[in-house]
Amino acid sequence: MDFPFVGSSYQYRSSNYDLQRSINLYPIKSEVGTSKAITALVSVPGYSSFALLPDSPIRATHEVNGRAFAVAGYGLYEIFSNGSYILRGSLLTNSGYVSVANNGFQICMVDGTVTGGFILTLATNAYAQITNPYFLGANTVTFIDGYFMFNKPNTQIYYISALYDGLSGDPLDFASAEASPDNLVAVKEIHKQVWLFGTSTIEPVFNTGAADFPFSPNQGAVIEYGCAAAQSIATTANTIFWIGSDREGTGIVFMTNGSQPQRISNNVIERLLQSVPDLSTATAYTYQEDGHYFYIINVDGLDTSLVFDINTQEWHERAFWNTNGGNYERHRAQSHIFAFGKHLIGDYANGNIYQQSLDIYTFNGQPLRRLRRSPYFADDLEYLFFSRLQIDMETGIGLDGAASSDTAPTAALRWTDDGGHTWSNEYSASLGALGNYNTRVIWRRLGRSRSRAFEFVTSVACKIFIISAKVQVEKGTS
């Protein structure tokens, strides 16, 4: 019979209730309805080295007019299509979040400090610190209608640069977000408005064209949800995402539906986010690949990164497998740009810029460990005798001339009969050497249980595509 093996991550507070996980695998759904199965599990992309910058960590990446830039440690580097790079300027800090925006002629960078504003002029590559009195320091910068807009840290104040010139501005060109007394966390342009993110509310403003100060609140449009982490704000697919907070609590993930916030997190994601003592340092980025739009959250204190797929409206996890410790760690990706026809990823811990691709099956040569933990299989809590479990997946995937583990790839299966508190030993099955497309991925004589969940794991440097699972089982009383 069919077994609902394919699915998303949903590991509940009580593992006896639900313990599903999809780590480095994500669900897809057929768009035609006549595929072999409605859903399947595919491997997340792998990574290979594209550039190694001499400073670290990667604090931000940015693409403009076909050019690619990265802030690494103190330095702003331009990266070229062959992976070479050049230093364009230096910041006064070497760690922490850097917010970046461009006006088509200049790149503006801010790092949250009073003196931490910098401009690179694209035509001349001239680099300068913003010393004009209009600049009050900023956590974030965004661009709208020719202006750079900033928020002054620990205040309700937002302000703007001169038109198309981040090096100058009028010290009187500022205003306060006054719909609520909460301080601003960030500013972000979306749909020709700037959303002023406070700790418990959001106030959209737009360009009225007024002579004194051109921006004014969109009356009646205040949103009663704020933002827990400035770096969690990201845009893609014509919408905006963030980790929310309000006067009642924190840790709900939102996206916009039109101009209204829509909760996209579930109880499991919210429990994970709310388990972290300080959400303010959470980061996020977005990208699109194979028609799927992803929003990726990294949070210090969690052992995986949390990923929402806009297409399927489902969550999965991504993680780096630490071969020394034998454990998952948060994904190494901190930021993303699409440049030179490639997805380029910045590493949060070092100076690496990686190329990301679904045709790469390792993490820069390290194992990409995929894990799927199934829902429970039970029937009135009577004994079930499991004769066979077969995973329907693409086989014959071994690599020609590769290391032995990849020429004869395998996957491991284990299971739990007590709600995830203890697990069986692992048992291996072949995924088929290159060209052995009729290989059947089967485990037999799996014993009995009243309630069982299976866990499938593989680290092979090969294509992984899981379609479904079948189980042969008989109901019994002893």
Two structure tokens written together for 29: 């759904």
Two structure tokens written together for 321: 């497998």
Half-sphere exposure of 442 (CA within 13 A, CB side): 10
Two structure tokens written together for 127: 């680099």
The yes-or-no verdict on residue 401 having pLDDT over 80 is no
164: region left, alpha or beta (phi > 0 left; psi from -120 to 50 alpha): left
Query: What does the pLDDT read at residue 400?
Result: 66
- In terms of Cβ atoms closer than 10 Å to its own Cβ (0-12, 13-18, 19+), residue 424 is middle
Average pLDDT of every residue of the chain: 95
139 by DSSP, 3-state: which? coil
- Render pLDDT for 368-379 as a digit per residue (tens, 0 to 9): 999 999 999 988
477 or 340: which carries more pLDDT confidence? 340
Alpha helices in 351-457 (DSSP H): 404-407
Contact 465, 394 (CB under 8 A): yes
Provide mean pLDDT across the span 93-106: 96
Query: What does the pLDDT read at residue 308?
Result: 98
Residue 335's φ and ψ, nearest 5 degrees, are -155, 165
281 by DSSP, 3-state: which? helix
217 by DSSP, 3-state: which? strand
Q: How far is CA 192 from CA 79, 195, 218, 440, 443, in A?
A: 30, 10, 12, 54, 56
Contact 62, 78 (CB under 8 A): no
Query: What does the pLDDT read at residue 219?
Result: 77
- Render pLDDT for 258-301 as a digit per residue (tens, 0 to 9): 888 999 999 999 999 999 999 999 999 999 999 999 999 999 99
99 or 406: which carries more pLDDT confidence? 99
Percent of the chain with pLDDT strictly greater than 70: 98
What is this structure's pTM?
0.95
What does the radius of gyration of the chain's CA atoms come to, in whole angstroms? 25
Strand partners, 412: 428, 457
- Under the banding of pLDDT at 50, 70 and 90, the label for residue 5 is very high
2-44+371-476 shares its CATH topology with 54-361: no
- Render pLDDT for 25-59 as a digit per residue (tens, 0 to 9): 999 999 998 999 999 999 999 999 999 999 999 99
259 or 240: which carries more pLDDT confidence? 240
54-361 maps to CATH 3.90.180.10 = no
Query: What does the pLDDT read at residue 375?
Result: 96
- Widest pairwise Cα distance in the chain: 84
The CA distance from 246 to 387, in Å, is 52
The CA distance from 197 to 222, in Å, is 10
- Render pLDDT for 143-171 as a digit per residue (tens, 0 to 9): 999 999 999 999 999 999 999 999 999 99
Instruction: Number of helices (H) and strands (E) in the chain: give both, helices first.
Output: 2, 44
Of the given ranges (252-266, 293-307, 414-428), which has the lowest mean pLDDT? 252-266
For residue 281, what are the contacts with CB-CB under 8 A and spacing of at least 6?
229, 231, 299, 300
Best-predicted range by mean pLDDT (14-28, 212-226, 251-265): 14-28
Contact 433, 442 (CB under 8 A): no
The yes-or-no verdict on residue 405 having pLDDT over 70 is no
Of the given ranges (106-120, 300-314, 333-347, 464-478), which has the lowest mean pLDDT? 464-478
Query: What does the pLDDT read at residue 180?
Result: 81
Query: What does the pLDDT read at residue 260?
Result: 87
Considering the domain delimited by 2-44+371-476, tell me its CATH architecture: Sandwich (2.60)
Domain boundaries, the chain: 2-44+371-476, 54-361
* CA 414 centroid distance within chain: 28
